[in-house]
Structure 1
């Protein structure tokens, strides 16, 4: 893949002329047939058909920013089952997703390894496409914890947006792992 930084100038919403709003837009361009994939675990198998349909729609609509310029499109996804071997003597978990802990889960991160990231962005809705969502700090993928974590979904609707609620998904997608303790002796 290749990452690029594209300079942009924002247009004034009043005059439709370039203003002083100069910024950079980051893009990631993947090679054809890069083999991107994602994992999912449906707790309710009765919604599997709708889940597949949703991802076929996303392939047509695109994901990420600049969808109105044709960015974020991908080929129709293929779905298959995969078996993952997990340790039977696990002593912790590793997150495969972003994770937004509950307050109780935050109180129990003493022996954990993680990085934080701020997530923000714009609303993508028929009622509005240029309003910023509230930002939220989350644990990055690859965080390691000694106890199981569930996470939460949080409302990130801006105060001035009244059409409907906007949510950030922060439930943890985890796999068991074995924590190794190294003696400093």
Structure 2
């Protein structure tokens, strides 16, 4: 087994703008996906070390067993309670029900089912301890159902609330700034707004302490391979900024690498393999153009063929190449939270436009997933 690490991105007072295909300049997501993180990271690797080293690095990522797999970024939030300071790490809710999730006759009435399902469905991200309990531990409980029903009615109290299950959006705020675009030919002006995300922070003496931000997981087969160079490239990315509106100072961060046990002792249990009946939940985007691989992921579960074994969402990924007005090829990828009966591997997608000759352009569909138990 290789080595897992967790990287926290502390943005301090720097806002971020993470636009996605189809939502326009005025809106921003609160996190950045694995393909965007990979591209920005490798681009800064090229700035630091040059063309030949980055080509050698990409050649290794084109192999069946890449040297490193990364997740998408997700929210973390520092939580202060009466006993100690702790960090809440949020993970995407898998697109299958957890074990012991009640259906129909297990509930007192259909009305109760709808009451707690409304809140359950709105929980796109779960705190690490709830994610672990629902999908790797004892599973869903009647107490959970009651608390979710209470939350629907507006008065939830219990373990879910204490864990921060309903507080995801408290980690950040959205705000819009006015902008003016001036046409270079006609000097005509166009007034618009751009949305930014600000993670929570507080003044700490003469500095700034990040109270929330983003994190991602790294899995490497060879922990020492390129690690110093990659850390340097990530530090440069933090100085340059990630996402859009970097010319306005957005996306600046400081990266902190942690062993899982230093981030939270629970992480070591979360990444630990389960039994051979375990499913896999994506925590990155995933792409593969091999039809036989996709058929196995979608249809197979050992000797039991059933098209309902997988649950997934598709995300379209496109955009513009930064060094010129060139549109990248659009591809469709499996989104985070998708569930498969076997471990997805993924690969780099060659999205080089036909008119671009300088070098190859890749989008990362290399998968990273966690083992889970689900309701069948």
Same fold, judged at TM 0.5 (above): yes
Structure 2 residue matching 1:84: 3-state secondary structure: helix
The structure having more radius of gyration, on CA atoms, is 2
Deviation at 1:41, TM superposition (A): 1.1
Counterpart residue number, 2:174: 3
1:65–1:31 Cα change, 3 Å: same
* Whole-angstrom distance in 2 between the partners of 1:105 and 1:6: 45
Q: Aligned to 2:292, which of 65, 86, 104?
A: 104
**1:119 and 2:303 correspond:** no
* Whole-angstrom distance in 2 between the partners of 1:6 and 1:114: 35
The answer as to whether partners of 1:87 and 1:178 remain within 8 angstroms in 2 is: no
Counterpart residue number, 1:91: 278
* Whole-angstrom distance in 2 between the partners of 1:113 and 1:101: 16
1:28–1:121 Cα change, 3 Å: farther
Matches within 5 A, 1:3-152: 3-4=174-175, 12=183, 15=185, 17-18=187-188, 25-32=194-201, 33=210, 34-44=212-222, 45-74=224-253, 76-82=254-260, 83-85=267-269, 86=272, 88-89=274-275, 90-102=277-289, 103-108=291-296, 109=298, 110=307, 111-124=309-322, 128-152=323-347
* Whole-angstrom distance in 2 between the partners of 1:42 and 1:148: 16
Deviation at 1:78, TM superposition (A): 1.1
The answer as to whether partners of 2:199 and 2:213 remain within 8 angstroms in 1 is: no
TM-score, normalization: structure 2?
0.42
* Whole-angstrom distance in 1 between the partners of 2:352 and 2:193: 25
Deviation at 1:131, TM superposition (A): 2.6
* Whole-angstrom distance in 1 between the partners of 2:314 and 2:176: 23
Which structure ranks higher in relative contact order (CA pairs < 8 Å, sequence separation ≥ 6)? Answer: 2
Structure 1 residue matching 2:353: 3-state secondary structure: coil
Deviation at 1:143, TM superposition (A): 0.8
Structure 1 residue runs of 5 or longer lacking an equivalent are none
Structure 2 residue runs of 5 or longer lacking an equivalent are 1-171, 202-209, 261-266, 299-306
Instruction: Name the one with the larger helix percent.
Output: 2
TM-score, normalization: structure 1?
0.80
**Regions of 4+ moved over 4 Å:** 4-13, 22-26
